Amino acid sequence: MVILTDEEKRSILARAQKMAAGNKGSERNCQELCAALAIIEKTLGQQWYQKATRGLTIEIPEKMPTSHDHLLRDDSRPPLTRLLMGGVPSNIARIIQFATYIQELSDETNIQDKIDEYIRQERRCDLSFEHFIRLVFELKLAAIWKKRGLAVHFVPKQKKVTPDLEVASTNGKTYVECKRKDIHTKLSKELGDIYTRIIVGIQNEMSKLRLNYSVKVTLDKEAKIEDINSVISIAHENLVKRTEHFRESRGLIIVEGIQLASYDKIHSSKEIPEEPSGPTLYDYDYYFECQIHPIPIHDFLNLRKSDLPIRNFRVVSVYSVFAPTILQSVMYSIRDASTQLLESSGYGVVAIEISFGRTKSAETQIKQVLDNLPVLLTNMPHVSAVLIFLEETFGEAGKTHIATRCLRNFNPLTSHKLPQDIELAMKTDVSIPHKSLLD
């Protein structure tokens, strides 16, 4: 099915050309984003689209805000506004991917029924970002399996419990129950708030003192509310000394800093330090001002690879040995999905997407989940497999890409063995290559 007419495509190309102002690389990105938004608006409807972009500020700010207090606000913005504002490449890539899934599924599936159902559920309330992201996940799975030659059908919601997807081949079929988990449990959200307040406090101190440092905070314990002022105080006491390097340890808290370029000194973005990394990294925030407006690059990786004239680059990172596990939360979701399959189709596959964001403890936590799955599945003979999808963002050739990695556990004790071709499809990694949405 053709979603965009030739006239609409020509209009998008003209608009992208105007937005890019002669920059060919930027023109391609603008073209794909404009096409993606047009496909989304046309498929989900103008009324939903207007709600999804409510509060969107089109103008790109000339520089990043000098105060970092905005990081403390709850993000209740509607889905597309949340993804579009700030120009974060991974968020833009997510929008383009969503449109790609819609285009891939527009033929030979009942995707419009799924979208209509989603719109009815959201019609009487503010649009939920989590509900939107779950829809994206379900479309992603359907698109992947359709690409592998399987027939996919979105199961309509009924008064009784229903699975999310029916996947079929010439040899049989199975059902899929989808769940999406955020790494942030109640405890991790509380800790995340503490870490964010530490980062914001130190960034604001550097802004007031007109200083640029790379500050690293390490907590060898579970952080408490009272640690916020302690850490900021330690950082302030050392920053005012304006030494090239400082490191202070107080109990189980270590604060260290390395002086960067002088305040207001213009230099190349290639000179900034390496992106914070490591297994105990929890989060970081950086700031800079660019001599080119609007700022063409917003992500750390590509900023460091480019040669932009910038000033006042500074960064604060928080490392913590204490990382709350999501094991119990994921196990509960698998049990819940298993129960839903049993009450509806009677058998099927559990598919879970886990969002880890920037947290570096992902591999450890995923190993915990995988280690516990075999025992859990012994009591779920109706579950043929548990598929865990991890979304990963990476930079390549100056572009931001989103890839999905699948970890699989096929139940050897299942009473409903998958048809061979369906099992093979689910065992095979398939990416959906992004050709232009205007092709």
Q: What is the tens place of the pLDDT at every residue in 338-367? A: 999 999 999 999 999 987 655 555 667 788
Closest CA to 316 of 412, 170, 201, 223: 201
The conformational region for residue 333 under phi > 0 = left, psi -120 to 50 = alpha, else beta, is alpha
Distance between alpha carbon 224 and the CA centroid of its chain, in Å?
Answer: 27
Question: Hey, what are 334's tokens?
Answer: 């698998």
**Is the pTM value of this prediction over 0.75?**
no
**Under 8 Å between Cβ of 209 and 262:** no
Q: What is the mean pLDDT of residues 426-437?
A: 80
Helices 89-105 and 24-44, packing angle to 10 deg: 50
pLDDT at 362: 65
- Mean pLDDT for all residues in the chain: 87
pLDDT at 192: 82
pLDDT at 261: 96
First to last CA, the chain: 13
Task: Convert the pLDDT of each residue in 410-420 to its tens digit.
Answer: 999 999 999 99
Task: Convert the pLDDT of each residue in 32-51 to its tens digit.
Answer: 999 999 999 999 999 999 99
Task: Convert the pLDDT of each residue in 140-153 to its tens digit.
Answer: 999 999 999 999 99
Domain borders along the chain are: 6-128, 131-184+325-427, 186-320
* pLDDT more than 70, % of the chain: 87
Residue 254: strand pairing partners:
218, 249
pLDDT at 185: 62
Would you call 297 helix, strand, or coil by DSSP?
coil
Rounded Cα gap, residues 312 and 260, in angstroms:
9
**Under 8 Å between Cβ of 359 and 326:** no
Closest CA to 65 of 288, 372, 330: 288
Lookup result for tokens 């591999």: 363
Residue 397 has pLDDT above 70, yes or no: no
Q: Which residues fall within 8 angstroms of residue 217, CB to CB, at 6 or more apart? A: 198, 202, 231, 235, 253, 254, 255, 316, 317, 318, 319
- Hey, what amino acid is at 112? Q
> Is the torsion defined by CA of 10, 119, 134, 351 positive or negative?
negative
**Under 8 Å between Cβ of 90 and 402:** yes
Residue 60 has pLDDT above 50, yes or no: no
Question: Hey, what are 50's tokens?
Answer: 């207007």
Task: Convert the pLDDT of each residue in 230-252 to its tens digit.
Answer: 999 999 999 999 999 999 999 99
With 0-12 CB in 10 A as exposed, 13-18 as middle and 19+ as buried, what is 33?
A: buried
- Hey, what amino acid is at 93? A
DSSP H stretches of helix in 123-185? 129-147
Question: Hey, what are 216's tokens?
Answer: 């690293």
Residue 69 has pLDDT above 70, yes or no: no
Q: What is the mean pLDDT of residues 54-81?
A: 64
pLDDT at 326: 74
The CB-based long-range contact list for 34-39 (8 Å cut-off, 24+ gap) reads 35/4, 35/9, 35/99, 35/436, 35/437, 35/438, 36/95, 36/96, 36/98, 36/99, 36/100, 36/437, 37/80, 37/95, 37/99, 38/4, 38/8, 38/12, 39/3, 39/4, 39/99, 39/102, 39/103, 39/437
Rounded Cα gap, residues 410 and 427, in angstroms:
9
pLDDT at 23: 67
pLDDT at 182: 65
Q: What is the mean pLDDT of residues 376-392?
A: 92
Rounded Cα gap, residues 314 and 5, in angstroms:
47
| Residue 279: DSSP 8-state | T
Q: What is the mean pLDDT of residues 56-66?
A: 54
